[in-house]
Amino acid sequence: MPIDATDLFFILDEAYSLFSGSQGEYRYGGAGLQMFFLANELAKDEALNVTWVFHRRDLEGLSHKSIRFLSVDSIKETSSSESEKTHKVFTNPSKRVVISSIDGNAPFLHELAQLLNAYSILRISSDTSTTQPISDVYDSDELFDVYRALDGIVVQSETQRCQLQEKTGIESVAIPSMWPIQDCDDIEKSTILWVASSQYLKQPWHFIELAKQFKHERFAMILPKRDEQLFTYVQRRALAVPNLELVNSQLSPFETNAHFRKAKVLVNTSEFEGFPNTFLQAAAASTPILSFGVDPDGVLHSQHIGLTAEWRFENLCLQLERLLVDDMLRLTLGSNALHYVRRVHNPHAVAQQWKKFVKNIMEEKRVEG
């Protein structure tokens, strides 16, 4: 879906560590990773000039073959400065679109789009962003008002699209998340895996209890610190479970791939999600998914790629037992998952949907204007 020459500005600080040349440990969330994948894929189109805008100023070390970097301050200074670096961006005769994610970023997205005289698109990353968005500054009703002022809203699932429309009357377009598939050698699948940051909504205590119920299985938990109190609690509990390995730092997406490839099952115990990246990463590794309850658009069942426990811990144990004793079921679910992610979440196909959406936004707004 080709579109006319367009400047795309991505804004999401949590993606900083994903770029080559960033400093310190990896610190990113699912939204940041999806925005990184999207920018990387769209930057392959010669008609699209992709720039990532960060609040921080230490950007000199960042590098990417197709993405430029700017600080927020440098953009704000452009109106009174003729900086060569920013002048080139602002004098480009192409159209401009600003893209961000996470509900709390919506006000700044709107502000930056006005500053750049650009269209604004928000990608919603969590189910709660369609029903009760949160921010340190704005309440839900205020954030919904900002949603209405934006030019476009993208959601991850039909469930989110319906929730947002029913709650607010705001229209949106469902575009699936993307996940790059990499060929890899066969690795013996030997662990039961859980991956999420230390947030209460992720309910990691269920996984610890699960490991205690299956003493002869190997469990692995990747738990980057977010809530310090919960992080300390989980560390202490995990030490008392000898068959549970705890990785207590955030790994790069490429490092976590190794854990997914050797996982027999991915377990998700979250209270709510959007469409978890871990589901896609597991699917790309032919690993079936066992969810405590989350099943976005019912894909685990409809695509036959995983099982759910219907929000009951005893069912979680029963479903894991079922997967462990039935090798054919486990292999079938894993194979289906790989085919599903290749078909629906292929980066090129998803990028084409984004290009179509951006083109439609610009055409509709031009007609309205």
Q: In a 10 Å sphere around its CB, with 0-12 CB exposed, 13-18 middle and 19+ buried, how is residue 130 labelled?
A: buried
User: What is the assigned CATH class of domain 6-178+346-368?
Assistant: alpha beta
This model's pTM is above 0.85? yes
Does residue 290 surpass a pLDDT of 80?
yes
Q: At what angle do helices 253-261 and 277-284 cross, to 10 degrees?
A: 60
pLDDT in tens, 299-350: 999 999 999 999 999 999 999 999 999 999 999 999 999 999 999 999 999 9
pLDDT in tens, 142-174: 999 999 999 999 999 999 999 999 999 999 999
Helix or strand or coil: residue 306? strand
Domain residue spans of the chain? 6-178+346-368, 191-344
Collect all residues with Cβ–Cβ distance below 8 Å to 365 and sequence separation of at least 6. 119, 151
Compute the average pLDDT of residues 106-110: 96
Return the pLDDT at 97.
Answer: 96
Return the pLDDT at 82.
Answer: 46
- Could you give the CA distance from residue 306 to residue 310 in angstroms, rounded to a whole number? 13
Beta carbons of 247 and 235 less than 8 angstroms apart: no
Q: In a 10 Å sphere around its CB, with 0-12 CB exposed, 13-18 middle and 19+ buried, how is residue 290 labelled?
A: buried
Of these ranges, 60-69, 179-188, 202-211, 254-263, the one predicted with the greatest mean pLDDT is: 202-211
Mean pLDDT of the chain: 91
**Topology, domain 191-344:** Rossmann fold (3.40.50)
In the chain, % of residues over pLDDT 70: 91
Return the pLDDT at 200.
Answer: 95
Compute the average pLDDT of residues 349-359: 97
DSSP 17: G
Same topology, domains 6-178+346-368 and 191-344? Answer is yes
Residue with the bigger pLDDT between 39 and 74: it is 39
Does residue 26 surpass a pLDDT of 80?
no
Does residue 85 surpass a pLDDT of 60?
no
| Residue 126: how many other CB atoms lie within 10 Å | 21
Does residue 270 surpass a pLDDT of 90?
yes
